Amino acid sequence: MHKVYFVGCGPGDPELITVKAKKLIQKADVVVYSGSLIPPEIVKLCKRAELHDAAKLVREDIFKILRDNAVKGKLVVRLHDGDPSIYGAIREQTDNLKKEGIEFEVVPGITSFLASAAALGCELTLPGVTQTIIVTRAESRTKVPTREKISELAKHKATMIFYLSVHLISDIVKQAIKGGYSKSTPVAACISSKLER
């Protein structure tokens, strides 16, 4: 039996994946990836792997691929954009692997908010301004507790990072102002952060 690797491949630039991630991707026997989220340049690193596009599969089928191949002793990679621990929805799969007695490892990736800051050439924390970063998402289909509403989080006056929310930017701005940010607060909307200026 082999362990299953949940591998973050970063913000999309093949040069921004970790050495460990690249080695696992290149050695993998089986790779499950999201075709719409993982750039072709990274998929091409899967030199010998049997590839499965998760966009065409239901959760149960993805888990079956992970489990069945790990049990056969194959090196299995579940490839994620960014970092698997940030909105990667891996908990259900890791819980199921534990129930089956299959070990797993999460390999972190450079997350898009760090790549975005680098691409913009800016710091996310500044002495005298803020030493805190809040990573969240705007409420949509996934509800958030009252204490995590944007207007509540904005009261901290921290740097705020929003994932999966660009389509809700107007509401984010309204709620941030309601919570105490001024209209002159700098904002950047970053989509597909690959360190290109």
Q: What is the largest CA-CA distance in the chain?
A: 58
Q: What Å distances lie between residue 155 and 86, 145, 169, CA to CA?
A: 23, 16, 18
91-99 and 59-71 are packed helices; what angle lies between their axes, rounded to 10 degrees?
A: 40
Residue 195, class by beta-carbon neighbours within 10 Å (0-12 exposed, 13-18 middle, 19+ buried)? middle
The answer to whether domain 112-179 has CATH 3.30.950.10 is: yes
| pLDDT tens digits in sequence order for the chain, 197 residues long | 789 999 999 998 899 999 999 999 999 999 999 988 898 999 999 989 999 999 999 999 999 999 999 999 999 999 999 999 998 889 999 999 999 999 999 999 999 999 999 989 999 999 999 999 999 999 888 888 999 999 999 999 999 999 989 889 999 999 999 999 999 999 998 876 554 44
191: amino acid identity, one letter: I
Instruction: State residue 143's pLDDT score.
Output: 86
Residues 105-116 pLDDT 10s = 999 999 999 999
Instruction: Say how far apart CA 31 and CA 75 lie, in whole Å.
Output: 9
Contact residues for 1 (Cβ-Cβ < 8 A; gap 6+): 70, 71, 73, 102, 103
Residues 175 and 97: beta-carbon distance below 8 Å: no
Instruction: Say how far apart CA 73 and CA 69 lie, in whole Å.
Output: 7
- Selecting from 3.40.50.300, 3.10.20.90, 2.60.40.10, 3.40.1010.10, what CATH number does the domain 4-107 have? 3.40.1010.10
Q: What Å distances lie between residue 92 and 56, 116, 145, 157, CA to CA?
A: 19, 29, 21, 34
Instruction: State residue 9's pLDDT score.
Output: 93
Phi, psi (degrees; rounded to nearest 5) at 21:
-60, -45
Where in the chain do CATH 3.40.1010.10 domains reside?
4-107
Please, where are the H alpha helices in 100-142? 112-120
Q: What Å distances lie between residue 140 and 16, 147, 163, CA to CA?
A: 30, 16, 12
Sign of CA dihedral 128, 132, 137, 142: negative
